[in-house]
Structure 1
Amino acid sequence: MRRWADAHPEYRWAPYPPGPPFTLPERVAALHEAVTDAPEPAVLVAHSAGCLTVAAWAARHTGPVRAALLVTPPYLDPNRAPDPDRPPDDNVYGPVPSGRLPFRSIMVASRTDPYTTFAQFEGYAEDWGAELFDAGDAGHVETASGHGPWPAGERLLSRLLAEPDRPTGSPDTVH
């Protein structure tokens, strides 16, 4: 994501500057500000916890969003209890919203992600109405997983930018 932002000065980080720690309310507020300040409908690109932020934002807000590329969201057990030994702000990512996103989306799923099984990605994609892109053996699709430039991701983003808007509905599967 940093490579894409460096190559495209028109891209905006939300929150800015990027990096933890941010609570979910801070992330959602930053995303809402970025979306509402954008001169045209936004195309969101989110990785990991950023995908959960997009789902939480969409559950609480509406705004000019054209589409979203959601890359390897971490799975959070809907039955997990907050850790009583951690501050409340550290427990803000549960439960994950399960409603359909009100814009087109593609979810990138890895078969070897350490945080999410492929079946869990399929569940998120179904809940959110996202097309599912099977990235194969890709880890968490990050530098630590051995990724550098990511042409497949750039093609997915280009596809979201090029396709005319279509209503959300049954997710398509993309391979």
Structure 2
Amino acid sequence: MPSVDHWSRSWVRDRPGFQWAPEPPGPPYVAAERVAALHAAISADAEPVILVAHSAGCLTVAVWARQHIGPVRAALLVTPPYLDPDWKPGPGESVDVIIDHVPREPLPFHSILVASRTDPNATFAQFEAYARDWGSELFDAGAVGHLDSKTGFGPWPDGEDLLRSLAAVTG
């Protein structure tokens, strides 16, 4: 769960109408639990939404989109961790992410994938592959680490601009 000074927490705290999808306990990240929480949040209102996801939340959005339909206008996908499609945990290996498959087909809504040149969880080429597979517009955020509070991101004006552009395009 992001710290209280994470940009995503401040967006929810400071903007009426923004809602945090409830998070099941973790780690480990269990995709089925996160997808169910996201689906419940999306289904709670018939009004179309723009999803904002960071890190493993991006994987949740991709899995949700593969399994469900709903009133989603667009998604801002920020620094998803890369999981090799052929990766399998070894015997006794600690697994922080329990997901059997990261969908690699186009999302059924407009999306922007924010990529970092210095993210410890994915290379820029891996972000490009996700963007290509998901049909997402790619935004190069530069050398911003994982774009979280640990790398200095409380407020994130570029993210707010991206979100406004998604709202304008899909409005």
**TM-score, reference length from structure 1:** 0.86
1:60 alignment counterpart:
67
Structure 1 residues 8 and 91: CA distance shift in structure 2, 3 A = closer
1:95 alignment counterpart:
101
Counterpart selection for 2:44 from 17, 37, 43: 37
Measured against aligned partners, the alpha-carbon deviations of 1:138-167 in whole angstroms (never above 9, x if no partner) come to: 1100000111210000000011111136xx
**2:46–2:71 CA contact under 8 A, matched in 1:** no
1:152 aligns with 2:158: yes
Q: Percent identity?
A: 59
**1:100–1:128 CA contact under 8 A, matched in 2:** yes
2:22 alignment counterpart:
15
Which sections of structure 2, spanning at least 5 residues, go unmatched? 1-7
Amino acid at match of 1:154: E
Deviation of 1:48 (Å): 0.1
What SS class does the counterpart of residue 149 from structure 1 fall into? coil
What SS class does the counterpart of residue 73 from structure 2 fall into? strand
Which sections of structure 1, spanning at least 5 residues, go unmatched? 166-175
Measured against aligned partners, the alpha-carbon deviations of 1:51-94 in whole angstroms (never above 9, x if no partner) come to: 0000000111111100000000000111111344368x855224
1:137 alignment counterpart:
143
Structure 1 residues 16 and 90: CA distance shift in structure 2, 3 A = closer
**TM-score, reference length from structure 2:** 0.88
Deviation of 1:23 (Å): 1.6
Deviation of 1:137 (Å): 0.7
1:124 aligns with 2:123: no
The runs of at least 4 aligned residues of structure 1 exceeding 6 Å deviation read none
The structure whose RCO (Cα within 8 Å, separation 6+) is larger is: 2
